[in-house]
Amino acid sequence: MIRHPKEGERLKKILDVFPKVTVTVLADLVADEFVYGEISRVSREAPVLILKHRERTIVPGGGANAINNLADLEVNVLPVGIVGEDEPGRLLLKAFRHKHIAVSGILRDKNQTTVTKTRILAGMTHSARQQVVRIDREPESAPNSHFTRELVLSAREYARASDALLVSDYGYGAASPAILNGIRAKAGLRGIPVTLDSRFRMLEFSGVTAATPNEPEVESSLGVQIGQNWEKLVSAAEQLMSRMKLQSLIITRGRDGMAAFTERHKPVDIPIFGSDEVADVTGAGDTVIATFTAALAAGASTEEAAQLANYAGGIVVMKRGTATVSRQELLHAIETAPPATRPH
């Protein structure tokens, strides 16, 4: 492993630019609900635990978590998406307003359910809580033509005043390839970088600058097995970049860190920051793409943006639940451990 102390100073300068950067986020907005219970006993009705309810919280998840992360990085963020006229939707908007995030680009559809992922966590009084089940509530259909048109118009207007566009596609229809194509029409993007986090249909997008899939998503998209083989990882990355016409690609690899690929430079293998004994990976991909996009918008190279995203990912997986990383935490991380790479 090779340390790069001088690069750390460059990363700090990039972080200084974050408050001057504006990012539009086209996103599937998700409400992450956490219900905490204390294990009371085993039920007589069925072999299941009875939990004594202790706490319930709802926080921004999915694309809403990427928006939340950008706000905590002190980036000016302009979200575009859809929520239902229900409690999770109202709480998402309240959370955004609390952080002074503009919500005029978020449409409200009385006929839609806000995507809500409810995690039930159980534990003893003084022990760590473990997730025992997750319940997902999802819309029955994608946004109709009226809402699709409104999403395109809002995102196009915001993107013209932004330094980057982040697309967070969880498959619920508010951040689809068709909507991105509509935004790009009529010179709607002016050449700003477009970053993509797509859970299920990465290869259907075109005109994207960079993507940040994890390794299982790459394997699923291409029908390959990578494992610990660096050559296979590089080959898969080259296929993705060619098929999607990407300028850069970041593949996150869990405890193995991440790898950065560009058109003109050799691949960069970045070891994980911090411990590989993670507390919770919920929403870590949202943190990674938020930090990566903010860095690109601030003028960073692909490798510099990947290094900052790697720090952010290493920090956020040590936090419980859907969490964010602050600009100050990134500065502290750089001071604690200079950026590193692994030679190949």
Tens-digit pLDDT profile for residues 13-58: 999 999 999 999 999 999 999 999 999 999 999 998 899 999 999 9
Average pLDDT over residues 92-113: 96
Q: Is residue 147 part of a domain?
A: yes
Mean per-residue pLDDT of the chain: 93
Give per-residue pLDDT as tens, 151-194. 999 999 999 999 999 999 999 999 999 999 999 987 768 889 99
Percent of the chain with pLDDT over 70: 98
Average pLDDT over residues 292-305: 97
Measured CA to CA, the distance from residue 272 to residue 59 in angstroms comes to 26
Both structure tokens of 97: 């307003």
Tell me which residues are annotated as active site: 286
Inform me whether the pLDDT recorded for 206 exceeds 80.
Answer: yes
Give per-residue pLDDT as tens, 220-275. 999 999 989 999 999 999 999 999 999 999 999 988 999 999 988 899 999 999 87
Residue 300: CATH number of its domain? 3.40.1190.20
Q: Is residue 184 part of a domain?
A: yes
> Is there a contact between 112 and 142 (Cβ–Cβ < 8 Å)?
no
> Is there a contact between 316 and 274 (Cβ–Cβ < 8 Å)?
no
Measured CA to CA, the distance from residue 240 to residue 204 in angstroms comes to 11
> Is there a contact between 101 and 79 (Cβ–Cβ < 8 Å)?
yes
Measured CA to CA, the distance from residue 89 to residue 31 in angstroms comes to 7
Inform me whether the pLDDT recorded for 277 exceeds 90.
Answer: no
Inform me whether the pLDDT recorded for 146 exceeds 80.
Answer: yes
Inform me whether the pLDDT recorded for 276 exceeds 70.
Answer: no
Q: Is residue 122 part of a domain?
A: no
Q: Write the CA distances from 189 to 156, 242, 318, integer angstroms.
A: 7, 22, 36
Q: Is residue 45 part of a domain?
A: no
Q: Is residue 197 part of a domain?
A: yes
For residue 317, what are the contacts with CB-CB under 8 A and spacing of at least 6?
278, 279, 280, 281, 284
pTM of the model: 0.93
Report residue 279's pLDDT band, with 50, 70 and 90 as the boundaries: low
Sign of CA dihedral 111, 114, 117, 123: negative
Domain of 247, in residue numbers: 2-30+61-114+141-341
Which pLDDT value is given to residue 6? 80
Q: Is residue 174 part of a domain?
A: yes
Inform me whether the pLDDT recorded for 283 exceeds 90.
Answer: no
Q: Is residue 237 part of a domain?
A: yes
Inform me whether the pLDDT recorded for 74 exceeds 90.
Answer: yes
- Number of domains composing the chain: 1
Measured CA to CA, the distance from residue 23 to residue 8 in angstroms comes to 24
Inform me whether the pLDDT recorded for 142 exceeds 70.
Answer: yes
Q: Which long-range contacts (CB under 8 A, 24 or more apart) does 33-37 make?
A: 33/57, 33/58, 33/88, 33/116, 33/117, 33/118, 33/119, 34/58, 34/59, 34/118, 34/119, 34/121, 34/321, 35/118, 35/119, 35/120, 35/121, 36/121, 36/123, 36/129, 37/120, 37/121, 37/122, 37/123
Measured CA to CA, the distance from residue 97 to residue 41 in angstroms comes to 40
Q: Is 55 left (phi over 0), alpha (psi -120 to 50) or beta?
A: beta
Q: Is residue 128 part of a domain?
A: no
